Structure formats: C-alpha cells, structure tokens
C-alpha cells in the first residue's frame, strides 16, 4: 500500500477514472482523466501516449482491475489498480 501511496502522490503519475461519465462528474480526484471502462479497448493508443505510471481507479476496484488487465494484455505494463475512489482519496490525504 505504501508503494501505491508513493505512486499516487508522484506528480508524474496519471490518474485515470474508469467509471461512467456521470459518476465522474459527481465526484472525482482533481486532475484525473475519465476514460470509462467500456472505452478502454478503443483507446489503447491514447493510453500508450500518456505519461507513465498510470493509476486506474473506479468505485470499488473491480472495473479498474479489469482496465488494468486489458492494458497489460496490450503491453502497457506501468499501470496499477488504485482500487476505489475512497481508496485513492485516503492515499492522497
């Protein structure tokens, strides 16, 4: 968990919220990108172009886990499951 905390606090880390747009609009980590899980496969090149590392989060950690799996299968290895929004908020504070 401390390694994930360091990643999340690192200014070069990109946070990606894979929840639906309406969930993101209700609450999200400031500066996080929103790429809903169902769009992840179509946006692989966008993920490749992002600065690394990537920390992916959602509501509970399930969708972010699926997104991390998809990205790793496509060769994007510097990507981590940040769990749910609440988990990330705790790590930042």
pLDDT tens digit string along 17-75? 999 999 999 999 999 999 999 999 999 999 999 999 999 999 999 999 999 999 999 99
Half-sphere exposure of 58 (CA within 13 A, CB side): 19
3-class secondary structure per residue, 20-64: CHHHHHHCCCCCCEECCHHHCHHHHHHHHHCCCCEEEEECCCHHH
**Active-site residue list:** 58
What is the phi/psi pair of residue 76, to 5°? -95, 105
CATH of domain 2-92: 3.40.250.10
pTM > 0.85: yes
């Amino acid at each position: 968990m401390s390694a994930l905390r360091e990643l999340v606090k690192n200014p070069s880390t990109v946070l990606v919220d894979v929840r639906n747009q309406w969930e993101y609009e209700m609450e999200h980590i400031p500066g996080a990108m929103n790429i809903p899980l169902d769009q992840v496969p179509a946006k692989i090149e966008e993920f490749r172009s992002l600065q690394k590392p990537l920390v992916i989060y959602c509501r509970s950690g399930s969708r972010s886990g699926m997104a991390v799996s998809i990205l790793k299968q496509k060769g994007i290895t510097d990507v981590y499951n940040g769990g749910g929004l609440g988990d990330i908020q705790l790590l930042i504070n």
